[in-house]
Amino acid sequence: MYLPSISSVGLRQLVVADTGGSLATHPLTITTTGTDLIASDTSVLLTINYSSVTVGSNLNGSPYVWMIL
């Protein structure tokens, strides 16, 4: 799954959740676009059933960063 570019969405909060409980057998990689980062990396891997991650965009600094909330 690719996150939208922060420059195209502005300030935003997104929740990605495994509501079906299948991440142990079908992991999900959440990836940034362009030069955006998630925390200090370009991707996050979810592997635990029913887990979720909430990210919020930060327009301060360069590159823009999706913060894990």
Closest CA relative to residue 21, chosen from 48, 45, 53, 54: 48
In order of 21, 49, 54, the CA distances from 66 in angstroms are: 25, 23, 9
- The pLDDT score that the predictor gives to residue 61 is 86
Q: Write down the pTM of the prediction.
A: 0.88
Domain regions of the chain by residue span = 6-68
Q: How confident is the model at residue 49 (pLDDT cuts 50, 70, 90)?
A: very high
Measured CA to CA, the distance from residue 45 to residue 38 in angstroms comes to 11
Residue 36, pLDDT above cutoff 90: yes
Measured CA to CA, the distance from residue 18 to residue 8 in angstroms comes to 25
Condensed to tens digits (0 to 9), the pLDDT of residues 5-33 reads: 999 999 999 999 999 999 999 999 999 99
Locus of tokens 């990396």: 41
Are the beta carbons of 36 and 45 closer than 8 angstroms?
no
As a whole-number percent, the residues of the chain with pLDDT over 90 amount to 96
